[in-house]
Amino acid sequence: MRKHISVTGVVQGVGFRPFVFGLAKRLDLRGWVRNTSGGVEIVVQGQISKVESLIHSLETEAPPLARIDSITVEPELTEIEYKTFDLRPSTNIEGAFQPISPDTAICPECERELFDPNDRRYLYPFINCTHCGPRFTIIKDLPYDRPATTMADFPLCDSCRKEYEDPLDRRFHAQPVACPECGPFVYLENSAGNSTSLSNMDMRLHAILKARRLLREGKIVAIKGLGGFHLACDAENRKTVDELRRRKDRSAKPFALMAADLGIIKCYCEVNEAECKLLTGKEKPIVLLNKNKNASLPDGLAPGMDALGFMLPYTPLHHLLLNQSDSVLDREPAPSILVMTSGNLSEEPIATENQDAFERLAPLADAFLSHDRDIHVRCDDSVVRIDRGSQTADPAVHRLSSTVYLRRSRGYAPYPVHLPFETSPILAVGGELKNTFCITREKYAFLSHHIGDMENAEVYESFEQGVQHLSKLFRVKPELIAHDLHPGYFTTKYAESITGVPRIAVQHHHAHIAACMADNGLDDRQVIGLSFDGTGYGTDGKIWGGEVLLASYADFERVAHLEYLPLPGGDSATRHPWRIAVGYAESLGLDIEGLPFLASLDKKVIDIVRKQVQKKLNTPETSSMGRLFDAISSLVGIRNEVSYEAQAAMELEAQSKAWLAEAKPYPFEIEASVIHVRELLKHVIDDVRANKPAGLIGARFHHTLAGMAEKVSLQTRAATGINETVLSGGVWQNQILLDLARAALMKNNFAVFTHQKTPANDGGLSLGQAVIANFKSMKRQENLFNS
């Protein structure tokens, strides 16, 4: 039997060719295997049963990092009689493309070698193999070969080349493979620019040992990782944590933490089986975990929060900095937990280039632990949590995911979302906050790494570089560009700057619902979409955010929404929740005189806000659910000012958890498709005057919102017969609201869809834009044809 086999998916840089080579040798088959720019190509000949066994094993025994999308088997038409099974050089097929592997945490085999004194890579901070290490962040082009990566400048030594060329070696064609003799080196610089480079074992260790000592002594060290620099310090040193906040101009946003091992994390947080699996998996994201009651870490790590974001070491260098047991490293004892926050000033992109990092981070860091392997694509750490509600739900319930993606980046991007339909080549540019972009081709939607908030030129540049790079990697020349409806967004202006390509503007909340539909593999049909978030430009020019949509990919109808209320000062009010509370109360005729939250405010400024509302001066109207959270948080005395997005809502959620069991919902009204909140706010104010705990009021508020979701869904189903409800938008990252609303909807026999592999926040928005643009374009073409 002779067969020609084509395999697509993530099958390069993951040990797939040596795996095929080993299979063929084991089964005594002949032929060849090679990489192409579209995947892996195999020609095999031999006994029928053995050829069939190889085909079966391609999927069932594939290497751990491989993700197979398709295996196509056809007769091999050539009559060549092969005498051996060979590995052929890679070939480029015009226009072909393939998914590529995300960066992957160090594997157990490499970790064992890293701490084996008899191994030639003992304590070498760049150890890797085909099962682990950098991928996405070092790739310049496909096929994935060393010359097309940032490792091109490091010629292999004889020992590494022998491994690299041995098909049965774990490092066969591992493109980043290196050792102390031929690979990248690490060096330590202080903020004055004095460096210590490492060219041998003793010198190599010097920088790492000194960095461990600096961290232990309370210094802040900038550390170059896979996708950029981190700013690191001892997480148990309160003074240093406070100093890092001062230097970084980050007053309250929680810091990410990295612990030496899982046991240390369990000392401070609750860790269930699913969370353990996430922490120890090959992606190694930041995982949000509930604090233990007796956790003794500084409050300044996550002010006002009842959870901490922990991750485990994912690079060899991280292990060397945190290891608590190696006899050589133990010369300089290290902290067991480090703050590992992004290496940037607030709102800037994470630093990746050595000189840029030194220039930008010198005021923030006391020293720099850097290296000479370039980062081609910046990639922030991913942030996830376990949806605990989904773990206890009825297993028969349709498509409940246990992992919630708050930021999908390192370890996950740019692995694609698989669509249930073909698409045109489309570029969707995303939104203004938590930006990602999306490139589609065929049935793939390539959602980019995290870009960030589009607030300065550095982020714009990072966005543009990312678009160019992924378009090149996946051989996509967009035939259509999708962007947000908001005319003032940078991403809208970027789309408008591209000439000769048709554009489609997509309403923000429609994109949220479409993203969740695509994430769940739904075909084009109408669903009830509950799109709850902070802000999005509406078709009427107002600020939406508490939306009930009857939506398909091609179109939507707004069937209900929160009532419009004033936002005094416009966007600036989002940083001052008290303005929203005062504005809402003034608009609805509610008495808030004497409430505690007003005590710290200037009465003259309060009067100015009231007059703004009365005269409708710079008070755009909003139906935002996120702003309603802000107003409640301020009214109950939790947060009058915020320093980061959703801070008020997150602190309200944290205080509400303990009161859920005894809390009852507040009243609300739905009239003519408008959800009125006057009665809700009036009862909140009454509870504040009665000195009810803020957590109890917050719990009642959460129950109320779940009741709103239930009631509007029941009304919409009664009118349309549609039974599928899709939940999307950043507000649905609130675990309390998600649990309560989902339980209520499921009790009424709704099929409930939540995000599976993408964020519910604006990090998933570009996916929705892309699929909407695809169907709108198809509809236009049909209309033209029919006319």
Query: Residue 731 pLDDT > 80, yes or no?
Result: yes
State residue 396's pLDDT score: 45
What is the structure's pLDDT at 38?
87
Nearest CA to 225 out of 101, 376, 352 is that of 352
d(CA 238, CA 218): 9
Token pair recorded at residue 372: 């000479």
Query: Is the pLDDT confidence value at 654 over 60?
Result: yes
pLDDT the model gives residue 42:
97
Query: For 151-170, what is each residue's pLDDT tens digit?
Result: 999 999 999 999 999 988 99
One-letter amino acid identity for 128? N
Give yes or no for residue 57 having a pLDDT over 90: yes
Tell me what pLDDT residue 398 has: 42
> What would the pLDDT profile of 293-304 be if each residue is shown by its tens digit?
888 899 999 999
Q: How far apart are CA 156 and CA 145, in angstroms?
A: 13
| CA gap 2, 48 in Å, rounded | 9
Instruction: Kindly give, in sequence order, each residue whose CB lies less than 8 Å from that of residue 283, ignoring residues fewer than 6 positions away.
Output: 102, 104, 105, 382, 410, 411, 412
d(CA 24, CA 502): 49
Q: Are 529 and 547 in contact (CB under 8 A)?
A: yes
Dist CA 84 CA 67 (whole Å): 27
Beta bridge partners of 547: 531, 561
199: pLDDT strictly greater than 60: no
pLDDT at res. 401: 56
The tokens for 490 are: 């940078």
Task: Calculate mean pLDDT across residues 203-229.
Answer: 94
Q: Could you tell me if 593 and 607 are in contact, meaning their C-beta atoms sit under 8 angstroms apart?
A: no
- Residue 602 is given by DSSP the state -
Q: Is the model more confident about 94 or about 401? A: 94
Which pLDDT belongs to residue 402? 86
Closest CA to 528 of 773, 711, 769: 711
Q: Are 722 and 526 in contact (CB under 8 A)?
A: yes
Please state, in angstroms and rounded to a whole number, the distance separating the CA atoms of residues 222 and 358: 9
- pLDDT (mean) for 412-434: 96
Whole-prediction pTM: 0.95
pLDDT digits (tens, 9 = 90+) for 583-598: 999 999 999 999 999 9
Residue 394 has pLDDT above 90, yes or no: no
- Strand blocks (E) in 256-301: 256-259, 286-290
* Mean pLDDT in residue range 110-133: 97
- Render pLDDT for 349-380 as a digit per residue (tens, 0 to 9): 999 999 999 999 999 999 999 999 999 999 99
State residue 459's pLDDT score.
Answer: 93
Q: What single string gives the DSSP state of each residue in 30-62?
A: EEEEEEETTEEEEEEES-HHHHHHHHHHHHHS-
Instruction: Find the mean pLDDT for residues 680-695.
Output: 98
Q: What is the mean pLDDT of residues 600-628?
A: 97
Q: Is the pLDDT of residue 150 over 50?
A: yes
Separation of CA 587 from chain center: 38
The pLDDT of residue 403 is above 90:
yes
Percentage of the chain lying above the pLDDT 70 cut: 97
Q: What band does 11 get if pLDDT is binned at 50, 70 and 90?
A: very high
Task: Please give the pLDDT value at position 399.
Answer: 47
Query: What's the CA gap between 580 and 574, in Å, rounded?
Result: 8
Residue 213, pLDDT score: 96
Mean pLDDT of the chain: 94
Over pLDDT 90: what percentage of the chain? 88
Q: If you search the block for the tokens 């009852």, which residue do you land on?
A: 664
212, containing H or E segment: helix 201-216
Query: Would you state the structure tokens that stand for residue 448, as one six-digit string?
Result: 């980019």
